């Protein structure tokens, strides 16, 4: 039997076939050795082929894992980019809402800071100095003989720093008036403190209606003066400290001078503080 036929038979048949061909009775010694060598080479080739297939399988598995990892990384990157875009959009929307609120109110809403407290205390002290020294009472040709400007620092505080600072400055002014009562009106907190607090509130919101303009300063000065005079004398008459006739007479004759003085002073002061700020 030819050696090639033996190899073909070894590849296509089972072990019994191989043993029949390797029988010393049918095959010579040299052919047997050569046949064994060839069979071993065939098995080695098959093993190598199996190892190659395993290697290719492992390589394919690694490639699939690498592709999955890349897909996961791309997904994470897309998620991160989407999150960043959403965060920027939310930030932009928040800034827009803040700007709209600022445009509507005229000034941004802020908590009371140290600066605001300092401004409130300083202007409240100015109001007290005007009262103590008498500089806050300007001689005028009216029945009362003078017009007050002691409420002007309260209006200025409201215009510059907002209603909270204006109200607190008015409280300082009213507290001093409550502690040092002069005239027919006793130390009543409703009469001497409450109207002074309301000066800062009404002045500020009047100022806001005119969008922080010069006309807003004028309107705030007028409304603040009306709040001070009508609130003080009106509550005094309502409680019974003064007759209504006396209160109305003082209001009519004194308020025009006080409003003119407040308007002039606030226009000058607001311009000075605006340039400085």
pLDDT in tens, the chain (277 residues): 444 454 445 445 444 444 454 455 554 555 556 666 666 666 666 656 655 655 666 566 666 666 777 777 777 777 777 777 877 777 777 777 767 766 655 544 445 678 888 888 899 999 999 989 988 888 887 766 788 999 999 999 999 999 999 999 999 999 999 999 888 899 999 999 999 999 999 999 999 998 888 899 999 999 999 999 999 999 999 999 999 998 999 888 888 999 999 999 999 988 887 765 5
Which ranges of 13-134 does DSSP label H, i.e. alpha helix? 15-21, 29-105, 114-133
Residues 151 and 73 in one domain: no
- Is 98 part of any domain? no
Closest listed residue to residue 146, CA positions, set 226, 227, 248, 254 = 254
Query: For residue 148, what are the contacts with CB-CB under 8 A and spacing of at least 6?
Result: 136, 137, 138, 228, 258
- Is 223 part of any domain? yes
- Is 251 part of any domain? yes
User: What's the pLDDT tens digit per position in 132-171?
Assistant: 998 888 888 776 678 899 999 999 999 999 999 999 999 9
In CATH, what number is assigned to the domain containing residue 221? 1.10.1760.20
Residues 154 and 239 in one domain: yes
Closest listed residue to residue 219, CA positions, set 149, 267, 272, 148 = 267
User: What's the pLDDT tens digit per position in 221-242?
Assistant: 999 999 999 999 999 999 999 9
Q: Alpha-carbon distance 39 to 41, whole Å? A: 5
- Report which secondary-structure segment, H or E, holds 169: helix 163-179
Residues 123 and 84 in one domain: no
- Is 211 part of any domain? yes
Residues 76 and 143 in one domain: no
Residues 143 and 59 in one domain: no
The whole-model pTM stands at: 0.59
Residues 122 and 12 in one domain: no
Residues 126 and 232 in one domain: yes
Query: For residue 128, what are the contacts with CB-CB under 8 A and spacing of at least 6?
Result: 172, 173, 176
- Report which secondary-structure segment, H or E, holds 18: helix 15-21
Residues 78 and 128 in one domain: no
Q: Alpha-carbon distance 34 to 240, whole Å? A: 138
- Report which secondary-structure segment, H or E, holds 139: strand 137-139
Residues 166 and 78 in one domain: no
Helix (H, G, I), strand (E, B) or coil at 147: strand
Question: Could you tell me the residue range of the domain that residue 56 belongs to?
Answer: 3-88
Sign of the Cα torsion 130, 134, 140, 143 reads positive
Cβ pair 107, 101 in contact under 8 A = no
CA angle 163, 167, 168 (to 5 degrees): 120
Number of domains in the chain: 2
What are the backbone dihedrals phi and psi of residue 96, each rounded to the nearest 5 degrees, phi first? -65, -45
């Amino acid at each position: 039997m030819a050696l090639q036929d033996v190899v073909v038979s070894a590849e296509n048949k089972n072990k019994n076939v191989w043993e029949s061909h390797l029988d010393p009775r049918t095959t010579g010694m040299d052919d047997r050795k050569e046949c064994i060598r060839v069979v071993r080479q065939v098995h080695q080739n098959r093993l190598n082929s199996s190892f190659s297939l395993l290697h290719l399988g492992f390589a394919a598995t690694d490639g699939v894992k690498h592709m999955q990892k890349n897909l996961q990384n791309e997904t994470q990157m897309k998620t991160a980019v989407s999150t960043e875009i959403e965060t920027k959009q939310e930030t932009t929307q928040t800034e827009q809402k803040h700007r709209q609120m600022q445009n509507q109110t005229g000034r941004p809403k802020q908590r009371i800071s140290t600066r605001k407290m300092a401004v409130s205390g300083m202007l409240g002290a100015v109001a007290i100095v005007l009262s103590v020294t008498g500089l806050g009472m300007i001689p005028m040709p009216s029945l009362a003989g003078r017009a007050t400007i002691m409420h002007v620092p309260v209006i200025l505080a409201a215009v510059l720093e907002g209603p909270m600072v204006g109200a607190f400055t008015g409280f300082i002014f009213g507290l001093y008036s409550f502690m040092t009562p002069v005239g027919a009106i006793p130390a009543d907190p409703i009469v001497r403190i409450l109207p002074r607090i309301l000066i800062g509130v009404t002045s500020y919101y009047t100022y806001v209606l005119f969008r922080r303009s010069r006309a807003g300063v004028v309107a705030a000065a007028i409304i603040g003066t009306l709040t001070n005079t009508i609130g003080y004398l009106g509550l005094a008459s309502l409680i019974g400290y003064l007759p209504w006739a006396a209160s109305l007479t003082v209001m009519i004759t004194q308020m025009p001078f006080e409003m003119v003085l407040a308007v002039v002073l606030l226009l000058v002061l607001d311009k000075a503080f605006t340039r400085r700020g």
